């Protein structure tokens, strides 16, 4: 394959990736756990977010 063709393919894949990230970011607030009003619910929410970001990190390592 010619380098210019590879560049076009890489640019299209990067654009698709950005589109998917944007779609995920737009859906994030609707699919996330809501914050509560009590102290315990804040702790549960913080634990939920910690576990979520650990899972995101594992996913990046595995699929990257």
Torsion of CA 8, 14, 15, 19, to 10 degrees: 160
On whether the CB atoms of residues 38 and 46 are closer than 8 A, the answer is no
Kindly report the backbone phi and psi dihedral angles of residue 38, in degrees, each rounded to the nearest multiple of 5, phi listed first.
-90, 165
pLDDT at 13: 83
Which DSSP symbol is given to 32?
S
Rounded Cα distance, 22 and 14, in Å: 12
The predicted-structure confidence for 14-48, as pLDDT tens digits, reads as follows 877 777 776 666 555 566 778 889 999 999 999 98
Structure tokens at 12: 């299209």
pTM of the full structure: 0.51
């Amino acid at each position: 394959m010619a380098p210019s063709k590879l560049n076009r393919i890489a640019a299209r894949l990067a654009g698709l990736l950005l589109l998917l990230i944007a779609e995920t970011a737009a859906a994030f607030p609707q699919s996330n756990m809501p914050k509560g009003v009590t102290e315990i619910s804040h702790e549960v929410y913080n634990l939920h977010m910690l576990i979520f970001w650990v899972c995101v990190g594992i996913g990046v390592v595995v699929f990257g």
